[in-house]
Amino acid sequence: MPVVLHVDLDQFIAAVEVLRRPELAGLPVVVGGHGDPTRRGVVATASYAAREHGIRSGMPLRTAAKRCPDAVFLPADNPAYEAASARVMDVLRGLPDVVVEVLGWDEAFLGVETDDAGAFAAAVQEAVHAATALHCTVGIGDNLLRAKIATGFGKPAGTYRLTRDNWFAVMGERPTRALWGIGARTARRLADRGLHTVADLAAADPAALAADLGPRMGPYLVQLGRGIGRERVDGTPWVPRSHGRETTFPEDLEDWADVRREVAALARTVAGELAGRPARRVGVKVRFVPFTTRTRSATLPAPTRDPDVLAAAAGEVLDRFPARRAVRLVGVRAEF
DNA sequence: TCTGGGGTCCTAGGACCC
DNA sequence: TCTGGGGTCCTAGGACCC
């Protein structure tokens, strides 16, 4: 029978760092930003030892340092993680008769035909560990949604099965926030309508939610509550929709001329990373002090890969921003 | 708690056209 | 005179995920 597996590497970024620095094994390791907790930045990944001190992904490095002053802070080394990720994905693609859909550096869905999903999941874990020394958790499901959520119950280094047969027993009384695709904001909007649990959401009227939350979003959320989702893993290579760069400055920029210079520089960097695909639109993001974020964008007269053209276009978009308070971040994004 | 950087998709209003 | 309806593109912002 067709089975969906969700493979998720355990504390991936921290694990990659420990592999090349074995003396860090078992220590609280925090990776993120420039590796300096006195500078602006957030936690990308914390090792399990660091998590025991209450350190979580997305937390400011400053806060992490307060919770665990003895933690080892390391800068993010994206090329190293990309290389490790590529090795893992190659292992997955090398498994017999499996379709692989990559979801991120440390995650992938596997579509496979098997009558013993548990044994297959164990084989996946062994193959990944043998080739990379990395541990992973495997969620087993009858669709992508259930496989993905199952992984959370199998951590670390285990497996878990979530299907139509145990969906409501496992998930029914949990908050809607436990669903993949429902964040804090949507959970609150649902709670305002009396929908607190997964079972509440599953029993809601799709048409009523459509009127409140949008024609696609409303019905989609009810499906989420029922554990219904895509069943077919799609192995076709991903084609990026956009590519961008953004920078948070160590000190806020007070002078708009500096902002202009940074936008131009980012636009040239982005142009150099387009990999042959011309940009059709360009977007500029500005985060003003204290934290108000605004975006502007424009369709280009003609698609371009030219750094000068992209930089000029980004500059024109920047000119359309009204307020000129101090700036803590700028970003430039090219859309294809 | 004083909040990174890289993305994706959805929504809604207005422009514009037939 | 003062107004239909559908389709598509553009744009800004929101929400979410890793």
**What is the pLDDT at residue A211?**
86
Residue A262 bears catalytic tag:
no
d(CA A230, C1' B17) / Å: 37
Distance from CA(A46) to C1'(B1), angstroms, rounded: 16
pLDDT at position A323 over 80: no
**pLDDT digit string, tens, across residues A261-314:** 999 999 999 999 998 899 999 999 999 999 999 999 999 999 999 999 999 999
Tens-digit pLDDT profile for residues A197-224: 999 999 999 988 988 888 888 999 999 9
Helix (H) or strand (E) holding A292: strand A292-304
In a domain, A99, yes or no: yes
* DSSP annotation string for A96-120: TTEEEEEEETTEEEEEEE-S-HHHH
What is the 8-class DSSP label of residue A166? Answer: T
pLDDT-based confidence at residue A191 (cuts at 50, 70, 90)? very high
pLDDT at res. A196:
96
A60 touches strand B (CB under 7 A): yes
For residue range A297-307, list pLDDT tens digits in order.
999 999 999 99
Nucleotides of B under 7 A from a protein CB: 1-12
Structural domain contains residue A66: yes
Q: Does the pLDDT at position A324 exceed 80?
A: no
Structural domain includes residue A38? yes
Query: pLDDT digits over A91-133, tens only?
Result: 999 999 999 999 999 999 999 999 999 999 999 999 999 999 9
Q: Residue A263 — φ and ψ, nearest 5°?
A: -65, -45
**Residue A243, CB, strand B, below 7 Å:** yes
Positions of strand C less than 7 angstroms from a protein CB: 9-18
The CA–C1' separation of A165 and B6, in angstroms, is 37
| Contact (Cβ atoms closer than 8 angstroms) between residue A159 and residue A140 | yes
For residue A229, say whether its CB is under 7 Å from any atom of strand B. no
Which among A76, A94, A119 is the end of a domain? Answer: A76
Given a cut of 90, is residue A160 above it in pLDDT?
A: yes
Query: Of the residues A199, A226, A253, which one is the last residue of a structural domain?
Result: A226
- Find the Å distance, CA of residue A268 to C1' of nucleotide C16: 29
Regarding whether A59 and A99 lie in a shared domain, the answer is no
pLDDT category, A243, cuts 50, 70, 90?
very high
> Does residue A53 lie within any of the structural domains?
yes
Among candidate residues A17, A101, A107, A262, the one labeled active-site is A107
- Looking at the structure, tell me whether residues A24 and A136 fall in a common domain: no
User: Which of A58, A76, A94 is the C-terminal boundary of a domain?
Assistant: A76
CB-strand contact A194/B, under 7 Å: no
Query: Which nucleotide shows the minimum CA-to-C1' distance to residue A41?
Result: B4
Confidence of residue A177 (pLDDT cuts 50, 70, 90): very high
How big is the CA angle at A111 (ends A105 and A112), to the nearest 5 degrees? 130
How confident is the prediction for chain A on average, in pLDDT? 95
Range of the domain at A137: 2-12+79-162
For residue A75, report the phi and psi dihedrals to the nearest 5 degrees: -75, 150
Q: Please indicate, yes or no, if residue A150 is contained in any of the structural domains.
A: yes
Q: Do A88 and A19 share a domain, yes or no?
A: no
The strand ranges marked E within A18-75 are 29-31, 45-46, 72-74
CA dihedral A48, A50, A54, A55 (to 10 degrees): -110
Residue A196 CA and nucleotide C5 C1' are separated, in Å, by 40
Residues A303 and A259 in one domain: yes
Kindly give the residue spans of alpha helices, DSSP state H, lying in A34-182. 48-51, 61-67, 78-93, 117-132, 144-154, 167-171
What CATH number did the domain enclosing A97 receive? 3.30.70.270
Radius of gyration of chain A (CA): 22
What DSSP assignment string belongs to A225-291?
Answer: HHT----S---SPP--SEEEEEEEEEEEE--HHHHHHHHHHHHHHHHHTSTTPPEEEEEEEEEETTT
Q: How far apart are CA A332 and CA A77, in angstroms?
A: 21
Which nucleotide has the shortest C1'-to-CA distance from A248? B4
d(CA A42, CA A61): 5
Question: Could you tell me if A118 and A201 lie in one domain?
Answer: no
A176/A191 Cα distance (integer angstroms): 9
Q: Is the residue at A56 inside a domain?
A: yes
Is the C-beta atom of A44 closer than 7 angstroms to strand B?
yes
Please state, in angstroms and rounded to a whole number, the distance separating the CA atoms of residues A325 and A173: 47
Instruction: Domain count for chain A, please give it.
Output: 4
User: Would you say A146 and A179 are in contact if contact means Cβ atoms under 8 Å apart?
Assistant: no
Q: What is the CATH number of the domain that holds A35?
A: 3.40.1170.60
Residue A248: CATH number of its domain: 3.30.1490.100
Same-domain status, A132 and A195: no
A6 with A121, same domain: the answer is: yes
pLDDT of residue A31: 96
Closest CA to A148 of A132, A137, A158, A156: A137
